[in-house]
Structure formats: C-alpha cells, structure tokens
Amino acid sequence: MKTLTLTNSRQMQPYLDQVWALLVASYAEVSGGLHYTEPADLLSKTQRWRLVTYRGRVIASTLFKAKRGWKLVAMASCRQHGLRARHALRRLICADLPRAWMELSERAERFVLRCCGGHHYLIHASLAATLLDKPVEPVAEDGYHYRRTVAGLLKAKVIVGTPLPY
C-alpha cells in the first residue's frame, strides 16, 4: 500500500474517476448525500487529497479544503477491499487529526470517534458557528454536539480535530 498527498489538480486528475466513484458509493446512504455534484467540483473546491493505493487502485481517500487550517470535507473507503480499505482510512484520519479538523455526523462520526481516537480531539459546540461561519443550534446533552441544516435537513453534528486559531 502506498499513501499519497496531492496538492494540485495536475496531481489529482489521474485519480479523479476512482476518487469520485468511491465518494459516490460511500455517501449513497448518508442523509443529505455527497455535497459535490460532479467530479470537476472536487478539483475546484478542494486543495488537498490524501489517498491510499493498493495495486494501483485507490482504496481510501480524504479530501480537504483550506479553511482555518485543513478541513476534511469528504472521506471514503473501497467496500470491495473491506478491512484493508477501512484500516487505510483509519490510518489517514489518525494521522490527520493533530493537523486538520472535520465536521462529522452519522457513520463517519461513529467511525472517527471509536476507531480513530477522535474523542481526544472533540471541539466544544460553542466554537462551531465561528469555525464553520454558519449558524448552529447547540445540543445541551454533551456540550460537543450541535444541529445545523445541511442540504435542507437538520442534522446533529460534532467537530473533531485541530483547527488553526482564529
């Protein structure tokens, strides 16, 4: 397995079709779905990709945009490669938590908190609106979760990682 960090569209282009297919499959069951409408959006709206390849095929990916440091905006692993791909995604996220941040919900939240040590990087909900530059509604239960509207749906979310100070 090989880990790649790509930082420009020339480097990303050869992997675009594989990454797009992984993301479409991974976000098919997520309420609100993938927030990109076509592959070209990935090149124009993200600035950093981390990929794990196995025998020349992408089996795990994390995509970032530059916002208060690196904000992870999409992640995926290849279901055909099962545990190998899941472990590859885990390695990517574990390495990125000290130097990036992410807004999570549903399965992604459970995966990062349980499998990647994300619980060590929880960000208090009072900071969410400022980090996101979007309105949020805090949830009183734990101090970390909040709700916000995403793709027309009110979703419970949490932020983990290490954003740059503002």
Sign of CA dihedral 124, 125, 127, 128: positive
List the chain pLDDT tens, one digit each, 166 residues: 999 999 999 999 999 999 999 999 998 888 777 888 899 999 999 999 999 999 999 999 999 999 999 999 999 999 999 999 999 999 999 999 999 999 999 899 999 999 999 999 999 999 999 999 999 998 877 899 999 988 788 989 999 999 987 6
pTM of the model: 0.91
Distance CA(15)–CA(9), nearest Å, equals 10
Distance CA(8)–CA(15), nearest Å, equals 12
Beta-strand relationship, 70-77 and 100-104:
parallel
Which DSSP state fits 125? Answer: G
Residue with tokens 């996101």: 132
Show the tokens assigned to 88. 């590859």
CA quadruple 78, 85, 66, 149: dihedral, nearest 10: 60
Residue 152 pLDDT: 83
6 - beta bridge partners?
Answer: 49
* Domains contained in the chain, CATH given: 2-161 (3.40.630.30)
